[in-house]
Structure 1
Amino acid sequence: MSDNDSKYPSELAERFQVRLPEGMRDRIKAAAAENNRSMNAEIVHALQLYLDFDFEKHPSATMTEEQKEEISETYHRILQERLMEKMVQAGWKQPED
């Protein structure tokens, strides 16, 4: 019987240490809790999604810069509108000019 036969799979897995920017650990922890995964499983899942994504088939790969800019402006306008709605719902009153 070899030494590897008595080890858990996690003890045999390849390890890699990484330095995270400030705040990222907390974001990973929150995402892992939300998805009922360990932090390690959440990181592996995110990396797998990234590595499997076919960037050349993504619609943005064939968009013109003008189309990308229009989408970006629309996205930011919608976000701003939703933020204002939430603020008003929370009782915030917009200052008068």
Structure 2
Amino acid sequence: FQPLVCGRLGVCRLSTADPVSVSPGSSQGTEWCKDHNTIHRRLDVIEEQVEKTVDYLDSEVKALLNTISETAWNVPVPPGTPVKDIFDGIDLTEM
């Protein structure tokens, strides 16, 4: 990806040695730069919304996992209930 640089005269060029052939001051170059800048502003807004959503979902998952963990330890086990070994048949020394 090569960032696009738009100058004051509406000349758009790639920041490397690949110029875009638009004559200085042409409305085509100016419109292209405006469209390019508009797209980047919209992408920035979308990126910010995605980051906020991910942070929110992360906190929700952590809260749910904490609730599940607390509930699992507080559930009373009736007397005589067989205990299932979840590590049955697994050699923990190989992990």
Q: Please indicate the TM-score interval, normalised by the length of the shorter structure.
A: 0.3 to 0.5
Bigger proportion of residues as helix: 1
Task: Tell me the TM-score normalized by structure 1.
Answer: 0.32
Bigger proportion of residues as strand: 2
User: Highest Rg: 1 or 2?
Assistant: 2
Higher relative contact order, chain-length normalized (CA < 8 Å, sep 6+): 2
Task: Tell me the TM-score normalized by structure 2.
Answer: 0.32
